[in-house]
């Protein structure tokens, strides 16, 4: 159970999201503007803020900027409607931890909140030993199992937290960027799914079952089943550098220019690249298009 502040000026939408969050046993306090949200954060215990972008006085973007100054340890999940993609992208650059389109609140909000809270509660059992670390490196050669890649990413973020390289908010932002890069490496890279097939495989529509069967077929057929994912993470005092490489044929890297447009946030694949660009300091691809390097500058506290 967590204490969550919900900032939404529409009573109907506020009630919808409050009931959704309370269904997972979270305690939710609501307010209708960013100025009241700041007052609440100053006087109460809060573990996470869920905020609409469009608010009457201090909007969601301004709230997130203020939180970065006064409450950088508290993550903010942004909820916004169609047509506000550019402001949403600016909010992500300003420090928002995650982004949920209003059209997908029922499907995404609770899972996103649970993911953020899970990363924020990184196990610190080895904190004292890890705090003495000058550099860590993780190198894995993995089969096409997303759960294994996620475990490698979780371990990387646990080390980053133990070395005090990233705040809890930044750990989730980097974790999100790596999740998108890993998913792309498996499904677009090694399994060679088209963009439509990839989007269908992650949807909840009727096409998902058929698409999942197709993915499972690829996972059991040559050459796809024999391909590996190469994961190389270096954690140093001044930066974190992660390289994820698949063994597919790669892609035309000229597509990247179109996908960094904030309008691409409405697309599954495009949104991933927008988030990677906003959450990391540098994202580059090799010439073949089958390897991505993600860099995050950091200063150990």
Written out in words, the top-level CATH class of the domain with range 127-297 is alpha beta
Q: Residues spanned by CATH 3.40.50.2300 within the chain?
A: 3-120
Max Cα-Cα span within the chain: 59
Helices (H), 44-163: 60-70, 85-94, 105-120, 127-131, 146-162
In the chain, which segments carry CATH 3.30.565.10?
Answer: 127-297
Residue 212: its pLDDT value, please?
77
Q: What is the dihedral of CA 88, 271, 152, 133, to 10 degrees?
A: -40
Q: How far apart are the first and last CA of the chain?
A: 29
Confirm or reject CATH 3.40.190.80 for domain 3-120, answering yes or no.
no
- At 168 the pLDDT is 81
Joined tokens for residue 208: 């998902």
Q: Give the C-alpha separation, 64 to 11, whole Å.
A: 21
| Single pTM value for the model | 0.73
pLDDT, residue 119, reads 78
pLDDT (0 to 100) of residue 183: 93
What pLDDT score does 158 carry?
Answer: 87
| CA distance linking residue 87 with residue 96, whole number of Å | 11
pLDDT tens, residue order, the chain (301 aa) = 789 999 999 999 999 999 999 999 999 999 999 999 999 999 999 999 999 998 988 999 999 999 999 998 899 999 988 767 777 888 888 889 988 988 889 999 999 999 998 877 654 455 667 677 889 999 999 999 999 999 999 999 988 988 889 888 899 999 999 999 999 999 999 999 887 776 655 544 444 555 678 888 999 999 999 999 999 999 998 999 999 999 999 887 776 655 555 555 555 556 788 889 899 999 999 999 999 999 999 865 5
Instruction: Judge contact between 289 and 250, C-beta under 8 A.
Output: yes
CB 244 within 8 A of CB 231: yes
């Amino acid at each position: 159970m967590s204490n969550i502040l919900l900032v939404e000026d529409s009573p109907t939408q506020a009630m919808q999201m409050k009931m959704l969050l309370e269904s997972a046993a979270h305690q939710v306090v609501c307010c209708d503007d960013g100025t009241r949200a700041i007052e609440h954060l100053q006087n109460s215990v809060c573990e996470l803020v869920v905020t609409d972008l469009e608010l009457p006085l201090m909007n969601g973007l301004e709230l997130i900027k203020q939180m970065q100054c006064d409450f950088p340890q508290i993550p903010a999940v942004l909820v916004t409607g169609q047509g506000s993609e550019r402001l949403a992208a600016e909010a992500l650059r300003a420090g928002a931890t995650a982004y949920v389109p209003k059209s997908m609140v029922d499907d995404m909000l609770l899972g996103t909140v649970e993911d953020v809270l899970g990363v924020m509660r990184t196990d610190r059992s080895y904190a004292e030993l890890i705090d003495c670390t000058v550099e860590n490196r993780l190198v894995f050669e993995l089969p096409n199992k997303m759960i294994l890649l996620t475990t490698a990413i979780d371990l990387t973020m646990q080390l980053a937290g133990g070395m005090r390289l990233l705040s809890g908010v930044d750990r989730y932002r980097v974790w999100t960027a790596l999740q998108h890069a890993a998913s792309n490496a498996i499904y677009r890279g090694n399994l060679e799914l088209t963009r439509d097939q990839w989007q269908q495989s992650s949807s909840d529509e009727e096409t998902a079952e058929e698409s999942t069967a197709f993915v499972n077929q690829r996972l059991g057929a040559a050459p796809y089943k024999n391909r590996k994912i190469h994961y190389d993470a270096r954690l140093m005092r001044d930066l974190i550098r992660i390289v994820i490489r698949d063994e597919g044929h790669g892609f035309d890297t000229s597509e990247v220019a179109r996908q960094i447009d904030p309008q691409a946030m409405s697309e599954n694949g495009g949104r991933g690249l927008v988030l990677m660009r906003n959450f990391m300091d540098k994202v580059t691809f090799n010439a073949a298009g089958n390897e991505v390097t993600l860099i995050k500058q950091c200063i150990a506290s």
